[in-house]
Amino acid sequence: MSNKIAIIVLADTDTNEGLGRIVNALAAAKEYSEAGDEVSIVFTGTATKWPTQLVKPDHPAHGLYEAVKGYVEGACGFCASAFGQTEAVQTCGIKLLADSGPFMSYRQFTEAGYQTLIF
């Protein structure tokens, strides 16, 4: 039986702790996907700034991102707007999520039987 894993990234880009969190989030996504599990990654809050960093070939997490970017479901549309990332997120090919009013839905994952990991 495979797992259903939702990886929710909240970490900011401005700290070493944030870098550690995004690396761990992407590594977890890679591990679960390689095991055949269903994986969904979303960026919310200040994490909506990550896509523009992760697409840079010289970023330390770029390789991990490239390995799992197909599992990115999207980024919170409200948060992307709040942090000035709407156009940047879309330019990176990531859809904006607004399933629950102006916000993305967290409940959609638990309702669909996903385990959630928050970074």
How would residue 26 be classed by pLDDT, with cut points 50, 70 and 90? very high
Q: Which CATH superfamily does the domain covering 4-118 fall into? A: DsrEFH-like (3.40.1260.10)
- Res. 1: pLDDT tops 90: no
How would residue 15 be classed by pLDDT, with cut points 50, 70 and 90? very high
pLDDT value, residue 100: 72
Q: How far is CA 67 from CA 2, 29, 34, 113, in A?
A: 20, 9, 10, 24
Q: Where are the domains of the chain?
A: 4-118
pLDDT value, residue 103: 85
Which pTM value belongs to this model?
0.94
